[in-house]
Structure 1
Amino acid sequence: MEFTAKEEMLVDFFEHRRPLTQLDKIKLVYGFRVVTSELKKFLIIYGIAIAFGLFWRMLLVQIGFLLVRQVAYGAHCSSFKTCLIVSCISFPFITWLAVALPITSLVVWGAFLLGAVILLFIGPVSSKKTKVQGEAHRTFLFKKLYSRLIVLGGLLVIFPTSISVFFLAGFLKGIVLVVIAKIGGSH
């Protein structure tokens, strides 16, 4: 693994505090790369959200999305650039749809229940980037998924439909990625 000049500076900074093995250096740089790439994605996506006046609403969409994504897994893009492009288009668009469409509480609850049933039948689903590591891991993720569905249901009860619709929009995006991974044969 080759390091950039900034990554070398980071390694040197930590190596002055304690000796690092080559594996430690690789882990440090990998973690740095993950954090910086996620930070870039966050800044770009939320920059777009701010430009369109969707910041707080899109934040709620991402909460609904992450509640599912972290435990149900699902399809991933093949590269950071593809993920960035898809996220920059899909999150603002989904948020805009949630604003633009006249969605009733009946629709919110119907979509939530249908989505929950789908997830409980097919989730969690491995992809090339995230793997379910055996039955014990699947059981662990399934229990967490069940808990997350309860949390999301609680959010839908607590908040009015005008806010719940954003949690639901992110939730539905997460379900679509699970279904895509399942259809693609990743499980």
Structure 2
Amino acid sequence: MEKLSKLLTDYIVKKNTISETDYEIYKYGFLIGIELLTCMVICYILAIKMQMFWECTAFFLLFFSLRSLVGGLHMNSFKVCFLCSCLVVFFTLSMIKYFPISKEFSLVISVFEIIILYYMKPVENINRPVNEKEKNVFSNRIRQTLIIITFSVCFFYLANILKYLVTIVYTLGIIIISMILGKAKNQIERCRG
């Protein structure tokens, strides 16, 4: 993947699309994009084999829209991140498929999770501190996203679409666990360094 990102970056430098000074930034961006795409393709293959394409899509929509704002656990290497990401998606889809929960219980749990996410502080990446202005922007976006999620929960509850309601419950749970683990990892790394 490193070679492919270098090849793509070399190509756009040769086409004079970017300057040489931006080389490393673009190379890193391509690398992250390729890694993310690879992970998503593998996860969708798993989802299709489990006959859960739409649940996987709902998981990704919710996970990426919220996790990009609240942060969470970050692994130190792509291989570990890739493996953990695929396992989390497989685990979540398995929970949705084999351990469905009632409509009423899903509603109660999802409301509880939304409240937790509302009051939990986002996990800052230890390599990129966030200033006060950025924190305010993230807070507003988190609130907006949680409002959309709340309306989605109400819609799926009233429309009796249990599979998406359960998907929200398990996905929010995974995000909360990731945030807790991310905070713990940051604390450990601060103590070491």
- Give distance in 1, aligned partners of 2:33 and 2:144: 27
Partner of 2:40: 42
Q: Give matches, 1:145-160, under 5 Å.
A: 145-159=142-156, 160=161
What's the TM-score once normalised by structure 1's chain length?
0.84
Cα 1:8–1:79 change in 2 (3 A) is closer
Gaps of 5+ in 2: none
Q: What TM-score comes out, normalization by structure 2 length?
A: 0.82
Assess if the C-alpha contact under 8 Å between 1:46 and 1:55 holds in 2: yes
Please name the residue that 2:138 is paired with. Answer: 141
| Aligned-residue offset at 1:150 | 0.6
Partner SS state of residue 94, structure 2: helix
In the alignment, the residues of structure 2 paired with residue 9 and residue 89 of structure 1 have an alpha-carbon distance, to the nearest angstrom, of: 30
- Are the aligned partners of 2:71 and 2:179 in contact in 1 as well (CA < 8 Å)? yes
Unaligned runs of 5+ in 1: none
Show the counterpart of 1:161: 162
The aligned residue for residue 178 of structure 1 is 179
Distance 1:155 1:134, change over 3 A: same
Q: State the aligned residue count.
A: 183
Q: Is the 8 A contact 2:100 2:166 kept in 1?
A: no
Higher relative contact order (CA 8 A, sep 6+): 1
- Over the aligned positions, Cα root-mean-square deviation in angstroms equals 2.4
Name the aligned partner's letter for residue 176 of structure 1. I
Question: Residues 6-52 of structure 1: CA distance to partner in whole angstroms, max 9, x if unpaired?
Answer: 55543453234327533222222222212111111111121122222
